[in-house]
């Protein structure tokens, strides 16, 4: 099993219901088991030109899962969930009903035509880092550093939403330390 981190975002429609339905769909995928989830946060929309307060605000969250799926298989399944929720890809960084990003997959570093992990901008985005830190306070962005340190560096400009976590955590998110005894 591999550990994967998925960021969820939506700024159109019933954002909270969409995030909860997407989280449920992710953990219902064959070969995927829930580990941890964040509470939702709100953030200003980010476009190619930067933050845009005239756009609808985003709801964001993170789920941590264990999976038997390979990274590209997981990404393809995430795209299927996006499609089910009416996601279109007409405008890069445009408004969306649902955005699912594979942020990290174990300590893997991968850069293909369709997938880059860790996500190349995850360490710069409070709307990814804040919910990830909420889901897993000991998380590390592979090749970059502890999520808590990255969040401190970029500053947390997100607003907490008064909703429960996306799903109940069956286990602690960070893998336990192992000893060579």
Which of 59, 96, 125, 165 is catalytic? The answer is 96
Catalytic residue among 20, 101, 134, 165: 101
Q: Where are the alpha helices (DSSP H) in 37-145?
A: 71-84, 126-135
Single out the catalytic residue among 39, 52, 66, 87.
87
Active site residue 168: no
Question: Which structure tokens are listed for 101?
Answer: 């990003």
Name the helix (H) or strand (E) containing 139.
Answer: none
Q: Is 99 in the active site?
A: yes
Residues 85-123: b if buried by 16+ CB within 10 A, e if exposed: bebeeeeeeebbbbbbbbbbbeeeeeeeeeeebbbeebb
Query: Is 89 labeled as catalytic in the residue annotation?
Result: no
Residue 171's nearest CA partner among 15, 27, 57, 58 is 27
Is residue 61 within 8 Å of residue 40, measured between CB atoms? yes
3, 15, 20, 99: the active-site residue: 99
Neighbouring residues of 19: CB distance < 8 A, sequence distance ≥ 6 = 8, 9, 10, 40, 59, 61, 98, 166
Residues with a known catalytic role: 87, 96, 99, 101
């Amino acid at each position: 099993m591999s550990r994967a981190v998925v960021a969820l975002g939506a700024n159109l429609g019933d954002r909270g219901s969409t995030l909860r339905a997407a989280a449920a769909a992710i953990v219902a995928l064959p070969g995927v088991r829930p580990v941890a989830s964040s509470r939702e946060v709100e953030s200003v929309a980010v476009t190619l030109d930067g933050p845009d307060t005239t756009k609808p605000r985003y709801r964001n969250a993170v789920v941590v899962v264990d999976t038997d799926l390979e990274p590209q298989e997981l990404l393809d399944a995430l795209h299927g969930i996006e499609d089910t929720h009416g996601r279109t890809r007409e405008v890069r960084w445009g408004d969306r009903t649902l955005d699912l990003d594979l942020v990290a997959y174990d300590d893997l570093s991968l850069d293909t035509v369709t997938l880059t992990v860790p996500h190349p901008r995850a360490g710069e985005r409070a709307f990814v880092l804040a919910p990830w830190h909420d889901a897993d306070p000991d998380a590390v962005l592979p090749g970059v550093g502890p999520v808590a340190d990255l969040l401190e560096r970029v500053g947390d400009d997100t607003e907490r939403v008064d909703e429960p976590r996306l799903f109940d955590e069956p286990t602690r998110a960070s893998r336990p330390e192992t000893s060579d005894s």
